[in-house]
Amino acid sequence: HPLNPDLNALHWSWKDGYVFLAIEGHYERPGENPGGYSYHLAGQDCAGTIEVPVEMDLNGDLRLTLAFDTERVFAAAHTIRIPDSDSTHSHDDGGLAARMADNAVQAFALLGIQPDLQNTGPAELVGSVNAPPTLASHVPPHFPLTAWPEDNIPTPDGVSLGRRLFEDKHLPINNTQSCSSCHHQQAAFAEPLATSTGAQGQTGARNAMPLFNLAWKPSFFWDGRSPTLRDQVLRPIQDPLEMNETLPGVIAKLRADPGTLGDFEKAFGTREITPERIALALEQFLLTFISGQSRLDLARAGKAELTEQEQHGFRLFFTESDPARGIRGADCFHCHGGAHFTNNQFHNNGLDPDDLIRDIGREKVTGKPGDKGKFMTPSLRNAALTAPYMHDGRFKTLEEVVDHYDRGIKSSGTLDPNLAKHLTHGGLGLTPEEKAALVAFLKTLTDTSFTEKPSVMAGVRTQ
**Phi, psi for 282 (deg, rounded to 5):** -65, -40
The per-residue pLDDT for range 12-36, each reduced to its tens digit, is 544 545 678 888 899 988 888 888 9
Q: How many whole angstroms separate alpha carbon 214 and alpha carbon 227?
A: 12
Nearest CA-CA partner of 68 in 19, 111, 107, 25: 107
Contact yes or no for 450/348 (Cβ under 8 A): no
Contact yes or no for 190/385 (Cβ under 8 A): yes
Amino acid at 416: D
The per-residue pLDDT for range 314-328, each reduced to its tens digit, is 999 998 888 777 888
pLDDT at site 1: 46
Residues 6+ apart with CB under 8 A from 273: 251, 254, 255, 260, 261, 264
Confidence of residue 458 (pLDDT cuts 50, 70, 90): low
The per-residue pLDDT for range 383-438, each reduced to its tens digit, is 999 999 999 999 999 999 999 999 999 999 999 999 999 988 889 999 999 999 99
Nearest CA-CA partner of 129 in 143, 110, 114: 143
Rounded percentage of the chain residues whose pLDDT exceeds 90: 69
Q: How many whole angstroms separate alpha carbon 234 and alpha carbon 171?
A: 10
pLDDT at site 118: 67
User: Where are any strands of DSSP class E within 49-194?
Assistant: 62-68, 87-88, 108-115
Contact yes or no for 181/190 (Cβ under 8 A): no
Nearest CA-CA partner of 288 in 153, 179, 393, 120: 153
Class of domain 295-446: mainly alpha
Q: What is the DSSP letter of 279?
A: H
Q: How many whole angstroms separate alpha carbon 329 and alpha carbon 41?
A: 20
Whole-model pTM: value is 0.89
- Decide: helix, strand or coil at residue 315: helix
Q: How many whole angstroms separate alpha carbon 355 and alpha carbon 341?
A: 31
Fold observed for domain 156-291: Cytochrome Bc1 Complex; Chain D, domain 2 (1.10.760)
Residues of the chain with CATH 1.10.760.10: 156-291, 295-446
Q: Which long-range contacts (CB under 8 A, 24 or more apart) does 118-126 make?
A: 119/61, 119/63
Residue 176 pLDDT exceeds 80: yes
Nearest CA-CA partner of 450 in 352, 384, 370: 384
Q: 251-282 as b/e, with b when 16 or more CB fall inside 10 Å? A: bebbeeeeebbebbeebbeeeebebebbbbbb
When mean pLDDT is compared over 318-322, 367-371, 457-461, the highest value belongs to 367-371
